[in-house]
Structure 1
Amino acid sequence: MKITVMSIFVSDQRTALTFYTDVLGFVVAADIPMGEHSWLTVASADDPNGMQISLEPADHPAVAPFRDALVADGIPWTSFAVDDVQAEYDRLVAHGVEFVQPPTSMGPMTTAVFDDTVGNLIQIASMGETDR
């Protein structure tokens, strides 16, 4: 068994697509119209045939209270691995990304948390870094 697709609930699929591709650097894996929404997935540019993230419409009534609680408590929806958190932080800040946690050393790893513009906090993390 392996993970092939994981979902992130988004308030607007097209806004999410722009952010996840133009800012974060993912590539479109699938964009299939399905009525009001699409089956919309992105993948790492380094592994376009690998695991995909479904940019899932956040229409279900249970989504908003759950996401709001996570954001209010500063809890990221998911975590993305990067080689260098500080370098990625600097790159994303230059693209206007708002961080709620700057690069922070947490023992053997460094993390930072940003707002993905469509309702979620996302963590970036790297093992073996220290604060600069």
Structure 2
Amino acid sequence: MIVTTASIFVDDQEKALDFYTRVLGFETKDDVPLGDARWLTVVSPAARDGVELLLEPDRHPAVKPFKKALVEDGIPFNSFGVEDLAAEYERLTGLGVRFVQGPTDLGNVRVAVFDDTCGNLVQIAQRL
């Protein structure tokens, strides 16, 4: 068994697609209309056949309070691996990404946490 798809709940799929592709650098994998929403996935250009990230609408009544609680407590919903956290932090900061936690060493990993503009905090992590 392997992981094929992971989800992140977003408040606006179009805004999320713009942020996750134009800013973060992911590529659109699937974009299938499903009524008033879409099956909308992105992948890393370094792993086009790897795990897909589903930009899932946050319409279920339990989702918005869940997302709000995580953000209020500073807890990232997902974590993405990077080769060079310092360089990625500088690149994203230059694109206007708002970090809520700058680069921080935690044992054998360096992390930083940003706001994805869609209601989530997301961590980037580099193994040291």
* Regions of 4+ moved over 2 Å: none
Is residue 77 of structure 1 aligned with residue 77 of structure 2? yes
- Gapped runs of 5+ residues in structure 1? none
State the 1:15 CA deviation: 0.2
Counterpart amino acid of residue 28 in structure 1: T
Structure 1 match to 2:8: 8
Opposite residue 87 of structure 1, the aligned amino acid is A
- Provide the aligned length of Structure 1 versus Structure 2: 128
* Residue 106 (structure 1) shift: 0.9
| Secondary structure of residue in 2 paired with 1:38 | strand
Is 1:31 the equivalent of 2:31?
Answer: yes
CA distance in 2, matches of 1:109, 1:50: 23
Question: How far off its partner does 1:35 sit?
Answer: 1.1
Match of 2:88 in 1: 88
Q: Give the aligned partner of residue 47 of structure 2.
A: 47
Where in structure 2 are there 5+ consecutive unaligned residues? none
Please report how far the alpha carbon of residue 50 of structure 1 lies from its aligned counterpart in structure 2 after TM superposition.
1.1
Taking only aligned residues, the RMSD between alpha carbons, in angstroms, comes to 0.5
Counterpart of 2:66 in 1: which secondary structure? Answer: helix
Identity of aligned residues (%): 55
TM-score normalised by length of structure 1: 0.96
Residue number in structure 1 paired with 2:104: 104
